[in-house]
């Protein structure tokens, strides 16, 4: 709990003062899921990574095979992860009527697993796969069973593979991996995730802007805002005069727009906000 009688106010104190009595839309990034065991791309301790682009995936069968081999191993790891205290704190704030919705840049579905009801999965979901030819969407666990049939024991060959973001794993030898095509039309299957170089669907972006406009303040949790898909909502909130609180380890591209910046991890900070804000909502 916060010590409101402390001689020197902390950034967390300032954040509570700014958010008290206001409805909040939350924008989350990879930093909120690191305590669940999912690494991020740009955290202070993250190694350099080069994600596959959309063009590479659709144009190069060898790269596509390499991707699915890595994903076959990484998916199983992400599938076992569970929400952490940060996810639960946001669900509690939603239960109290403080958080009106969550826009997440993550694809791990942990907000939904924590019980949050109003979630926009900006970059898609790791648990779905789409056919690029017939547009059918199938569950990822259905594809997992097919890939296991085609590649029995493959995951057991790399038990200590390093897990990378977006349900990926670091594996080098994938030439013998067999890829599954669409059950319905034989087309190319792709995770229902927005790749680098691919645009977020327009209706999803519009819904996210509407969610920002539906609240009195914006809370950013665990995002460096390095890509425009997230930064644009911070800029939008700033232009409209809404206060912005950013919780993230390390600098973000939105720090100069923040009303309050808290350089800290998400789990503890969001838990403390969840403990403080409902009381302040009732008394403000």
Active site residues: 123
What is the C-alpha separation between 265 and 263, in angstroms, rounded? 7
CB 105 within 8 A of CB 27: yes
What is the C-alpha separation between 105 and 204, in angstroms, rounded? 12
Burial class (CB in 10 A: 0-12, 13-18, 19+), 164: buried
> For 21, left (φ over 0), alpha (ψ -120 to 50), or beta?
left
Which residues lie below 8 Å from residue 33, measured CB to CB, with a gap of 6+?
A: 40, 81, 84, 87, 106, 108, 110, 222
CB 137 within 8 A of CB 36: no
């Amino acid at each position: 709990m916060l010590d409101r009688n402390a001689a020197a106010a902390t950034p967390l104190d300032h954040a509570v003062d700014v958010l008290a009595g206001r409805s909040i839309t939350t924008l989350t990034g990879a930093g909120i899921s690191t305590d669940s065991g999912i690494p991020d791309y740009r955290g202070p301790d993250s190694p350099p990574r080069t994600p596959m682009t959309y063009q590479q995936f659709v144009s190069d069968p060898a790269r596509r095979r390499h991707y699915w081999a890595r994903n076959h191993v990484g998916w199983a790891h992400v599938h076992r992860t569970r929400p952490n205290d940060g996810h639960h704190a946001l669900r509690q704030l939603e239960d109290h009527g403080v958080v009106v919705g969550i826009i997440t840049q993550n694809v791990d579905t942990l907000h939904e697993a924590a019980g949050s009801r109003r979630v926009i999965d900006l970059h898609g979901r790791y648990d779905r796969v789409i056919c690029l030819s017939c547009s059918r969407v199938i569950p990822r666990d259905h594809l997992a069973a097919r890939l296991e049939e085609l590649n029995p024991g493959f995951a057991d060959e790399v038990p200590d593979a390093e897990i990378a973001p977006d349900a990926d794993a670091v594996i080098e030898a994938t030439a013998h991996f067999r890829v599954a095509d669409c059950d319905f039309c034989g087309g190319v299957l792709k995770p229902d995730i927005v790749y680098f170089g691919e645009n977020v669907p327009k209706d999803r972006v519009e819904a996210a802007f509407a969610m920002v406009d539906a609240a009195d303040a914006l809370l950013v949790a665990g995002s460096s805002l390095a890509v425009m898909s997230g930064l644009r909502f911070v800029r939008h909130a700033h232009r409209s005069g809404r206060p912005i609180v950013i919780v993230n380890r390390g600098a973000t591209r939105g720090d100069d727009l923040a009303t309050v910046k808290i350089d800290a991890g998400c789990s503890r900070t969001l838990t403390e906000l969840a403990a403080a804000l409902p009381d302040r909502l009732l008394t403000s």
